[in-house]
Structures are given as C-alpha cells and as structure tokens.
Amino acid sequence: MLKRLCLKLMSNPGGLPGGRPACGVTVSWRSSVKNIRSWLALSSLGLSLSAPVVVAQTRSFYTDATSYLSSRPQYPAWLELRSNLRENFDDICGDTFCEGDYSNIQPLRFQCSIHSSTGVVGQCVWVFAASNEEILPSTGTIDVQTQTWSCVSPLASGTTITALLTALSGSQPLYAPLPGTTTSLYDGLMDCL
C-alpha cells in the first residue's frame, strides 16, 4: 500500500502539495521520464534489473564430499571408503606402484566434489606423494627429490555420491567397478602413477 502511494506521489512532478518531496525523494519530471525510458530500453532487450539476482541463484554449487555428507546417513560409509582405499593401496604398493625411484608412495587424500542440490559427483581425485632421498657421502647432506600425483577417478558422467558409495562398499573398493563403467579406481591409478 505504501509503495503504491509513494509511486503515485512520485509521479507528481512536484511531489506533495507545496513542492515537498514525496517519500523522502526529490524527483523531477524529466528524471522520471528518463528513468522510465531506461527501464523500457532494458525491457525491450529482455533485460531487467533483477537479472543478476536470477543468474546468482541458478549457478551450480559444488562442495567437498565430507561437507556434503557430514549430516547425512552415508557419512560413515564415506569415512569407511576412504579408510579401505588407503588399506587397499598399502597392500599392493610394494608389488606395483612403489617400485623404482619412489618406493614410499603414500596416499594423501581421496576427495570428491558433489553438487549440493543433486548429489551428482563433479569429480573425484586421489592425491599421492613420495620422496627419494640420497645421502652425499662426502658431505653427509641429504638430497631429497619429491613427487606428487593427482589421479582423477574414471567416473561416468552423472554418477551420484550414493551410487558411488554403494558400488565401492566393502573391504576392496580399489578393485570394484565404478557405477556405469567396467573400470575401477585401480585402473585409474595405472594410468596415473
């Protein structure tokens, strides 16, 4: 009601009787016409002053899996998956990936990005680090070479975190087929490490 009254009073070039400004705003007739023309020009282009608000509301929003799942019943399954992946990697490291220059490869973290409203996985990455140390006999100093790897998991597009947790449940998630594929996380590591 007040808004309509203010608009009606603002349409009067002088504001209130006696030339006082309407609703605390001094508006001249020319500036009102100019504002209306500007609004009409924007409207004819299909634009509006509220467009930035709409754009902000439709943006995709991703978060990490730990934050996404922390208040959901699947949270313990996520923690168990990460623990089992670490154990699976430790069991095979010496016979596969940990031969050669870097014999101490360590998994740092398995992390996934999750769309906050749909639960669809954006990407999962497993990060590893290793080092190689050589002692220089003449000085006693140690020359250290470090290496890191960011291994992207070969997930099918549209995989949800629920489907991923279900497919990788159990004690051997490293070898389980990923949802919608015939590949496993192990296959992804073969292409990365």
23 vs 140: CA distance, rounded Å:
82
32 and 101 share a domain? no
Exposed/middle/buried for 158, CB within 10 Å: 0-12, 13-18, 19+? exposed
Give the separation between CA 37 and CA 170, rounded to whole angstroms. Answer: 66
Same domain, 66 and 54: no
Mean pLDDT over residues 166-173, rounded?
98
Judgement on whether residues 92 and 45 belong to the same structural domain of the protein: no
Residues 72 and 101 in one domain: yes
pTM above threshold 0.85: no
Domain that holds residue 7: 2-58
Q: How many domains does the chain fold into?
A: 2
Is residue 145 scored above 50 in pLDDT? yes
Residues 22 and 35 both lie in one domain: yes
Both 13 and 95 in one domain: the answer is no
d(CA 109, CA 126): 6
CB 178 within 8 A of CB 185: yes
- Mention every residue, 6+ apart, whose C-beta is less than 8 A from residue 70: none
Q: pLDDT tens digits for 59-108?
A: 769 999 999 999 999 999 999 999 999 999 999 999 999 998 899 999 99
Residue 55 is predicted with a pLDDT of 47
- Shared domain for 92 and 137, answered yes or no, is yes
d(CA 112, CA 74): 14
